[in-house]
Each structure stands twice: as C-alpha cells, then as structure tokens.
Amino acid sequence: MKIAIIGAGNMGGSIARGLASGKFISTADITVADLSQTVLDKLKNDVPEIATTRSNIEAAGDADIVILAVKPWLVDDVLGEIDLRPKQILLSIAAGITFEQLAKQVIEPGMPMFRVIPNTAISEHQSMNLIAVRNVSREQQDFVLNMFNELGMSMVIPEEKLAAGTALASCGIAYVLKYIQAAMQAGIEMGLRPDDAMRMVAQSVKGAAELILNNETHPSVEIDKVTTPGGITIKGVNELDHAGFTSAVIKAMKVSNK
C-alpha cells in the first residue's frame, strides 16, 4: 500500500516519521511532498529511506492513499492540482474541511474519503486520532485504523461529532499542558527546581491517564482512592472546585467547539 503525504509541516512530518518508524507501513512505500526543500531535507535527514519531492502531482501519482496534510485554505488548490483517481483513497487532516467540501474538489465525489483529526502527541506515537469515514469499505476502514493506531489511539466517530472531539482531544491537549504549566509554577514557588517540578507533574498526568485507559475505570473512582477523610488531597480538590476549575475546563471545551 503506497502512501503519499502532501505537506511535510509539523503534522505531515510527524505522520511521516511515525509511519516510517512503525511496522505497518514500509518506509519505501511512503512519499512526502512539500514546496520547501529545507523541510524535505530535514525529513530526509531523519528518515533517509523515505522518498521526498517538491511535486504534489508526482507524490500522489501512484499512491493508494493520499494524505492531505496542508493548511485548510490550501486544500482546494492542492486537490485541483493532483487530480485524484476514483480508486485512490483521500485522507484529509485539514481541520474544518468537510466531506462535502472535499467532494467538490475531486473528479469522483464518491471516492473513499477519511477525515482524521490527530493531536501534536503524534510525534511521540501518543496521539488521540479521531476518524470519520465516507464511502469506504470495512477493509479500508480497518486498514486506516491500524495505520493510525501505530501513532497513538484511534477512534471512528460520525463527522458531525468531529468538532466536539477536536475540542476534547486536539485543543484539549493544550489545556492539559496548561495544567502541567500551572502545577509546575506552584512547585517552583514551593522550592522545587523547574525541571524536577516538570517531571513530577508530567509523570503524574501520564500515570493518571494510564489508570483510566488500562483499567476502564472512572476519574471519580480514582480520586476517591487518594482523598482520605481530613487529608490534604481532598482539601486541594475542594479548593479547585471552589475556584471554578471544573467549570473553567467545561467552558474551555465548549468554546473550542464553536
């Protein structure tokens, strides 16, 4: 299965590097196109076996799957240039560009299409990948799911739920990082070295996530395990609630869904 990635920026480059370091796709079957030779040279330096080109047409020509990893405002121009064949699969990571918009720019509107919303943790193979499908077979869906599962965790959801999912998983990673930053600042004020505080908080966040994902438990259950009566943890949890922490997170997610 030959893969063409159009766009080697932060997300396209991360996908290319992630696929190349995995076992599901052969590096020899990946071609990456970008207008910037500097960006391509950096990618080639990291992954010498990967094919690169400054021609979108060349990259997409014999590909089975074309991954559109360009900015949303460039989608129309790129699709108008590469003239995809009906049997090819189009996979777009351009946020906010719907299937209907994509269909208007291809020769065969009924061609198989995927919309994928990853997050920046894709560079660490820890992305939450949200996937919507249109006109795809079960075999095609499973293939794309398996491909992106090497880059993190993947979930198929209806297209109309992508905006909400983006708020939680794509924008949401920034809110988690904001918590890490705030907790670090508290640690520094209490006398910890910045790098020590960062590691403590980051590992705590990672550990909390693993508790949920590995045990299919609920945050409330895990919170109860560490909030002993009269203890210091319940005092901190209550202070978060008094300060409107829960409400602030909900409001941030909802405003990102607009």
SS3 content of the chain, % helix, strand, coil (to 5): 55, 15, 30
pLDDT of residue 83: 87
- Which three-class secondary structure state does DSSP give residue 238? helix
Mean pLDDT, residues 121-128: 92
Instruction: Give tens-digit pLDDT for 170-211.
Output: 999 999 999 999 999 999 999 999 999 999 999 999 999 999
Listed residue (24, 28, 19) closest to 49, CA to CA:
28
pLDDT band at 123 (very low <50, low <70, confident <90, very high): confident
Residues of the chain with CATH 3.40.50.720: 3-159
pLDDT of residue 140: 97
pLDDT at 29 > cutoff 90: yes
Residues of the chain with CATH 1.10.3730.10: 170-256
Instruction: Give tens-digit pLDDT for 41-100.
Output: 999 999 999 999 999 999 999 999 999 999 999 999 999 999 898 899 999 999 899 999
What ranges in 52-155 are assigned the alpha helix state H? 56-61, 75-82, 99-103, 138-149
Q: In percent, how much of the chain has pLDDT > 70? A: 100
pLDDT band at 256 (very low <50, low <70, confident <90, very high): very high
Mean pLDDT, residues 220-235: 96
Question: Which CATH code for domain 170-256?
Answer: 1.10.3730.10
pLDDT band at 128 (very low <50, low <70, confident <90, very high): very high
Class of the CATH-defined domain 3-159: alpha beta
What ranges in 22-83 are assigned the alpha helix state H? 37-46, 56-61, 75-82
If DSSP states are collapsed to H, E and C, what string results for 146-161?
HHHHCCEEEEECCHHH
pLDDT band at 150 (very low <50, low <70, confident <90, very high): very high
Do the Cβ atoms of 25 and 5 come closer than 8 Å? no
Q: What are phi and psi of 84, to 5 degrees?
A: -65, 145
pLDDT of residue 109: 86
pLDDT of residue 86: 87
Indicate the average pLDDT of the chain.
95
pLDDT of residue 107: 85
Mean pLDDT, residues 133-158: 96
